[in-house]
């Protein structure tokens, strides 16, 4: 029934207007719904210069061109990155880790002096789930100088940190609100430092980086969380620790370590999705070593060694990052000076076969990472001050440059957070 105050003519006119605006109204709602799901964020850690107006901390390491942690929104279709702000830090937040819930981010600040002590620091940030912005919660000492790597234990209760210049690893408890507490354990590496010349160096190589003393370069738990592994580049060893996830304490495994060839310098490692194979990348030897991993006992047994470089390469190279594709079919290894990412097919027994290489479109790729879909790979070209985006061919493992460069001063690491995804409970 038409209300008395409304004539049939005006009713029809109003109805026509409403009908015309309905599609726009629906489209508007759809856009709002899509926006409400949240963006895909990228966080880029950098080597940064001291910013006394932001954080009055003395940094004795060489200054960098970054400004701290750079934030970007990721175009899910093209892979392009759009700047979304900077969390300014003058302490070189060179390694980042996001918790499973997507609510906290932790940074290893690669400094070697904080508050007059020869230590670096680790910072905790709250993540705004609406827009991905960061808010500093607190900063604690890392248990050694120059923390270069940070990871989160599968329990979600501890942050693990490797101090490169301090030659130590530490366990930092995560408080109920996500901030960090003082270290529950610190272990200092000890042993015989390897030679300046790598056993498996390419012909004509003068690559020398960390065989002057102990250098803890990476620390991460195995998939079960029962054991924690860390590498010391200077000692040419991978250490294995039993982990007490109640007290946050490390005790030596049996055996406590496995040795790599003298001088080769283990830098990073990555577990295959099946948890039975571990791939270790050697910085100075430019090699990948396949280990069989006994998850019940925390034991490693080497089974294959091959070059991270294309056949016939000669000269100096420093390896950087190693990753396994989510489907477990390919291994990717970063090469600095050669400035490439080596691509290797994973056989049915875990052994690797060189498939191809891709130029990183910038020099000294310190690390790289896949976006959450695995469709794109981003290379952090440290000395080129840029990120380069590549589309991943999941059938062949190949990488194709998208044409997207993103300027960032001395990028060191890139991690992602999909704000459209439902947060995990941990």
Which residues are paired to 415 by β-bridges? 43
What percent of the chain has a predicted confidence (pLDDT) above 90? Answer: 83
Backbone angles phi, psi at 32, to 5 degrees: -65, -40
Are 291 and 272 in contact by the 8 Å Cβ rule? The answer is: no
Cβ count near 292 (within 10 Å): 15
Alpha-carbon distances, residue 148 vs 46, 194, 232, 268 (angstroms): 11, 20, 12, 11
Continuous segment of H or E residues that includes residue 16: helix 8-36
Instruction: Please count the CA atoms within 13 angstroms of the CA of 293 that sit on its side-chain side.
Output: 26
Number of alpha helices (DSSP H) and beta strands (DSSP E) in the chain = 1, 28
Range from 49-58, 96-105, 120-129, 261-270 carrying the lowest mean pLDDT: 49-58
Continuous segment of H or E residues that includes residue 322: strand 318-324
For the segment 155-163, the average pLDDT, to the nearest whole number, is 98
Q: What is the pLDDT of residue 118?
A: 82
DSSP of 251-303, one letter per residue?
A: EEEEEEEEEPSTT--EEEEEE-TTSSEEEEEETTTTEEEEEEEETTTTEEEEE
Are 163 and 147 in contact by the 8 Å Cβ rule? The answer is: yes
Instruction: Please count the CA atoms within 13 angstroms of the CA of 130 that sit on its side-chain side.
Output: 1
Helix, strand, or coil (residue 64): coil
Residue in 184, 59, 178 with CA at minimum distance from that of residue 119: 59
For the segment 324-338, the average pLDDT, to the nearest whole number, is 98
Buried b (16+ CB within 10 A) or exposed e, 146-175: bbbbbbbbbebbbbbbbbbbbbbbbbbbbe
Are 132 and 417 in contact by the 8 Å Cβ rule? The answer is: yes
pLDDT tens, position by position, 47-85: 997 754 333 344 445 578 999 999 999 999 999 999 999
CA atoms of 371 and 67, how far apart (whole Å): 23
Cβ count near 59 (within 10 Å): 23
Tokens of 343: 């691509």
pLDDT tens, position by position, 360-405: 999 999 999 999 999 999 999 999 999 999 999 999 999 999 999 9
Are 300 and 321 in contact by the 8 Å Cβ rule? The answer is: no
pLDDT tens, position by position, 244-281: 999 999 999 999 999 999 999 999 999 999 999 999 99
Q: For the chain, what's the residue count?
A: 426
Tokens of 347: 């056989």
pLDDT tens, position by position, 195-245: 999 999 999 999 999 999 999 999 999 999 999 999 999 999 999 999 999
What percent of the chain has a predicted confidence (pLDDT) above 70? Answer: 87
115: confidence class by pLDDT, cuts 50, 70, 90: low
Q: What is the pLDDT of residue 111?
A: 82
What is the chain's percent helix, strand, coil content, to nearest 5?
10, 50, 45
Backbone angles phi, psi at 204, to 5 degrees: 80, 10
């Amino acid at each position: 029934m038409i209300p008395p105050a409304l004539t049939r003519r005006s009713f029809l006119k109003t109805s026509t207007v409403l009908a015309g605006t309905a599609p726009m109204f629906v489209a508007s709602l759809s856009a709002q719904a899509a926006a409400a799901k949240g963006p895909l964020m990228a966080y880029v850690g950098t080597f940064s210069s001291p910013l006394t107006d932001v954080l009055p901390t003395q940094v004795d390491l060489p200054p960098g061109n970054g400004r701290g942690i750079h934030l970007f929104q990721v175009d899910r279709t093209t892979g392009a990155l759009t700047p979304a702000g900077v969390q300014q830090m003058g302490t070189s937040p060179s390694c980042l880790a996001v918790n499973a819930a997507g609510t906290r981010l932790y940074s290893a600040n690669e400094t070697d002096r904080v508050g007059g002590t020869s230590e670096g620091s680790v910072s905790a940030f709250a993540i705004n789930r609406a827009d991905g912005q960061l808010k500093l919660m607190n900063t604690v000492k890392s248990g050694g100088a120059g923390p270069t790597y940070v990871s989160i234990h599968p329990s979600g209760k501890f942050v693990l940190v490797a101090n490169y210049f301090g030659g130590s690893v530490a366990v930092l408890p995560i408080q109920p609100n996500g901030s960090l507490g003082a270290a529950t354990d610190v272990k200092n590496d000890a042993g015989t430092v390897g030679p300046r010349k790598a056993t498996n160096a390419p012909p004509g190589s003068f690559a020398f980086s960390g065989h002057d003393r102990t250098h803890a370069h990476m620390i991460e738990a195995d998939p079960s969380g029962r054991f924690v592994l860390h590498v010391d580049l200077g000692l040419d060893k991978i250490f294995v620790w039993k982990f007490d996830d109640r007290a946050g304490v490390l005790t030596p495994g049996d055996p406590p370590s496995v040795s790599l060839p003298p001088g080769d310098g283990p830098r990073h490692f990555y577990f295959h999705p099946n948890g039975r194979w571990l791939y270790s990348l050697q910085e100075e030897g430019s090699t990948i070593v396949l280990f069989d991993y006994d998850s019940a006992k925390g034991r490693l047994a080497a089974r294959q060694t091959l070059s991270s470089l294309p056949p016939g390469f000669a000269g100096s190279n420093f390896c950087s990052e190693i990753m396994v594709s989510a489907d477990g079919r390919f291994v990717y290894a970063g090469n600095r000076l050669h400035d490439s990412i080596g691509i290797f097919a994973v056989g049915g027994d875990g052994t690797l076969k060189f498939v191809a290489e891709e130029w990183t479109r910038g020099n000294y790729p310190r690390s790289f990472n896949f976006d959450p879909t695995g469709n794109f790979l981003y290379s952090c070209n440290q000395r080129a001050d840029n990120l380069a985006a590549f589309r991943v061919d999941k059938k062949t493992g190949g990488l194709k440059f998208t044409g997207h460069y993103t300027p960032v001063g001395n990028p060191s690491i890139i991690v992602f957070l999909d704000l459209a995804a439902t947060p995990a409970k941990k």
